[in-house]
Amino acid sequence: MIKAVIFDWAGTTVDYGCFAPIQGFINGFKSIGIDITDEMARKPMGLAKIDHTRAIAAMLDCPLSEEQILQAYKVFEETLLANIEQYCDIKDYVSETADALKRHGIKIGSTTGYTSEMMDKVLPKAAEQGYSPDFCIAPDQTVKGRPYPYMIWHNLMKFGISDPREAVKVGDTEADINEGKNADCWTVGVIMGSSELGLSRDEVAILSQEELEIRKNAVRAVYYKAGADYIIDNLDELPDVIADINRRLVQSAPHMLLTPGPLTTRDSVKYAMLTDHCTWDDEYKAITTSVMNDITRIAANDNFDDYATVLLQGSGTYAVEAMINCLCRKKDKILFLVNGEYGRRMLTIAENSRKDYEYLAFDMTKPIDIEKVEKKLKKDEDIDIIAFVHCETTTGVLNPLEELAKLAKSYGKKVLVDAMSTFAAYDIAMPGLDIDALAASSNKCLEGLPGLSFVITKKMLLDKSEGRSYSHSLDLYDQYQGLYANGGKFRFTSPTNVLLALRQAIDEYKKEGGLPARKARYMENHKVLIQELEKLGIQSIVAPENQSYIITTFELGSFDFSKLYAALKLKGFIIYPGKLTAIPTFRLGNIGDVYPSDMVSLVSAIGDYINAENLNVNIKA
Ligand SMILES: *Cc1c(COP(=O)(O)O)cnc(C)c1O
């Protein structure tokens, strides 16, 4: 929640239109024989006054000596100090707004372009009129004035605020907004009576409505370009702004996602998105290539040159669809092995892309039955390809990838795998198992952000897939040509920021220690989760030997899922509904930037919910 509002002085809380300094600068420059306009005098407003003097000097055609600048400043200072008390009228709504904020426990801070000597004259005048902020600092009392954030930092220190997002900077110039942004505070630009508007009350009064709107819009444009979070006409709008910021702070409070993706991601991964890149840029293309190469190395390190990773814009399903669509020929018969929603999704894809296929369906709470598959392969010789999901995220059941791949290969079949939720968490050596293609995405165990998926496959298969796609956008061959032959160039707009995040996520994966470390963390998360939940009497549906260490389905028993969800969300945990139809269940993922201690906290929150609701939990008993 917002704890402090830091106001500027002239033009924001006192001196409507910010006129006090103008005559001073005009006199100052006149004293060295230079005439400046009001507009020039006003342009750098908000800076420390000595910096303001230098900024005006920089606008002149002829360079000034340091001596001349100091002389101009001296006269400016004398003029201002002589007149400043006439320019201390507080602006509209200042004392009411400050009082209202104080009543809500919000501290009122302030920063200024005036020197402390000038402020010594302004402060008592403002106090007389009912406005005394809790703190005021001038540029000469710290290292540098605006746009440096130091004066704001002094305010934060004074109020004991460690997170600058709990403070709002309010001002009437570009320099104010820059100062607030540099301090990482929320920023608010005030239009009426601002230096940017540069009009007295009388001047405003004689403007037509249209003319005033035009002038106000020009001020708005300056604040907007500077990056202001809010732009208001007058300070009476500030309480609503703060209410809105508080709402946003609550909304953006960190949640831990205990779901199968998108996942809780590291800050570094999210921050990596802050750079804008162009799809065509060579540097960006090199990053794209490095991402594809790193993914290929994770899957097929020993046979790197034989495999390629083709990135696709879109969620994981796009990769699964592109894989089935392009790597299966028209004459191929595909056998899908289905024991959950994601397996069923492959059937839909095959149906829509008019592939020749059959499927074997299995109990959703059990792995694919190898014997039944072998029986089928023995009987139906015309099957060319088998396709299945490695970990059925529907339930958390882990399918026997190695055995299935070996079986398929012993019958000379191709193998396509949806390894969405296991890639980078399970050891899947594609060359060793001779897996033909594998689909996964950025936002599962690589712990990147959603928006990119990929197919890793043998280059040989890709090379033969030209012209096979029924879809232009999901044409894996075309995409491969763009990305490989064209040095990392996406055919169509790429999610540049998401790709940068994926680059960072892969770096984090390596930093953690690659597969062994990530796998160990997930296994430990899973072990702790199961152990702790068992203490509450909450049991997993899937037998331990068939259970992945990625996501687990638990019996919901007498709980109401939406109530449990809401209670846990309040504590910052997001859980997942179950997908089994026979019994009520819920799911918990333990992948992402989460740790065993988080599992303990989660289960403790579930325990609190159970106690609060007085639920009979011993489901099995
Ligand atoms: C997440 C996931 C997908 C892809 O789902 P999207 O919503 O398209 O990202 C596919 N298969 C499995 C097994 C998954 O876990």
pLDDT digits (tens, 9 = 90+) for 546-573: 999 999 999 988 889 999 999 999 999 9
DSSP state string for 40-90? HHHTTTTS-HHHHHHHHHHHSSSPPPHHHHHHHHHHHHHHHHHHGGGG--B
Cβ atoms 277, 284 nearer than 8 A: yes
User: Given the CA of residue 318, which atom of ligand 1 is nearest to it?
Assistant: 8
Which segments of 260-332 are extended strands (E)?
Answer: 307-313
Write down the catalytic residue from 3, 35, 38, 49: 49
Our answer on whether the CB atom of 548 is closer than 6 Å to any ligand 1 atom is no
Q: What is the pTM of this model?
A: 0.92
Confidence of residue 621 (pLDDT cuts 50, 70, 90): very low
The whole-number pLDDT of residue 254 equals 86
Statement: residue 620 has pLDDT above 70: no
Indicate the top mutation candidate among 341, 368, 393, 553 to test ligand 1's pocket, ranked by most ligand atoms within 8 A of CB: 393
Mean per-residue pLDDT for 8-36?
A: 97
Mean per-residue pLDDT for 342-346?
A: 98
Mean pLDDT, the chain, as a whole number?
A: 96
pLDDT tens digit sequence for 347-393: 999 999 999 999 999 999 999 999 999 999 999 999 999 999 999 99
**Ligand 1 centroid vs 422 CA: distance in angstroms?**
11
Mean per-residue pLDDT for 40-45?
A: 96
Statement: residue 617 has pLDDT above 80: no
User: Given the CA of residue 392, which atom of ligand 1 is nearest to it?
Assistant: 13
The whole-number pLDDT of residue 284 equals 96
CA distance 396 to 385: 24
Mean per-residue pLDDT for 591-600?
A: 98
Indicate the top mutation candidate among 420, 438, 474, 587 to test ligand 1's pocket, ranked by most ligand atoms within 8 A of CB: 420
- Helix ranges (DSSP H) in 163-208: 174-182, 201-206
DSSP state string for 128-145? HTT---S--B-GGGSS--
**Ligand 1 centroid vs 394 CA: distance in angstroms?**
10
Our answer on whether the CB atom of 442 is closer than 6 Å to any ligand 1 atom is no
- By three-state DSSP, how is residue 179 classified? helix
Confidence of residue 614 (pLDDT cuts 50, 70, 90): confident
**Ligand 1 centroid vs 60 CA: distance in angstroms?**
62
Our answer on whether the CB atom of 393 is closer than 6 Å to any ligand 1 atom is yes
Mean per-residue pLDDT for 247-253?
A: 91
Which residue's CA is the nearest one to ligand 1's atom 4?
A: 316
Of 486, 500, 515, 451, nearest to 319 (Cα)? 451
**Ligand 1 centroid vs 550 CA: distance in angstroms?**
13
Statement: residue 297 has pLDDT above 70: yes
pLDDT tens digit sequence for 313-337: 999 999 999 999 999 999 999 999 9
Write down the catalytic residue from 8, 229, 593, 598: 8
**Interaxial angle between packed helices 150-159 and 174-182, expressed in degrees from 0 to 180 and rounded to the nearest 10:** 60
Our answer on whether the CB atom of 399 is closer than 6 Å to any ligand 1 atom is no
The whole-number pLDDT of residue 149 equals 98
Indicate the top mutation candidate among 313, 315, 455, 576 to test ligand 1's pocket, ranked by most ligand atoms within 8 A of CB: 315
Q: What kind and span of H or E run contains 574?
A: strand 573-574
Which residue's CA is the nearest one to ligand 1's atom 5?
A: 316
User: Given the CA of residue 340, which atom of ligand 1 is nearest to it?
Assistant: 13
The whole-number pLDDT of residue 252 equals 87
Statement: residue 581 has pLDDT above 80: no
The whole-number pLDDT of residue 102 equals 97
CA distance 595 to 466: 44
CA 62, distance to chain mean position in Å, is 47
Mean per-residue pLDDT for 405-411?
A: 98
The whole-number pLDDT of residue 438 equals 98
CA 331, distance to chain mean position in Å, is 45
User: Given the CA of residue 419, which atom of ligand 1 is nearest to it?
Assistant: 13
Which residue's CA is the nearest one to ligand 1's atom 2?
A: 420
Statement: residue 479 has pLDDT above 60: yes
User: Given the CA of residue 393, which atom of ligand 1 is nearest to it?
Assistant: 15
Of 309, 346, 33, 17, nearest to 191 (Cα)? 17
Of 231, 234, 175, 235, nearest to 204 (Cα)? 234
Confidence of residue 400 (pLDDT cuts 50, 70, 90): very high
Is 8 annotated in the active site? yes
Our answer on whether the CB atom of 261 is closer than 6 Å to any ligand 1 atom is yes
The whole-number pLDDT of residue 152 equals 98
Which residue's CA is the nearest one to ligand 1's atom 12?
A: 420
Total residues found in the chain within this entry: 621
**Ligand 1 centroid vs 420 CA: distance in angstroms?**
6
pLDDT tens digit sequence for 426-463: 999 899 999 999 999 999 999 999 999 999 999 999 99
Phi and psi angles of residue 254, each rounded to the nearest 5 degrees, phi first:
-65, 135
Which two tokens mark 237? 């709008």
CA distance 489 to 500: 14
Confidence of residue 616 (pLDDT cuts 50, 70, 90): low
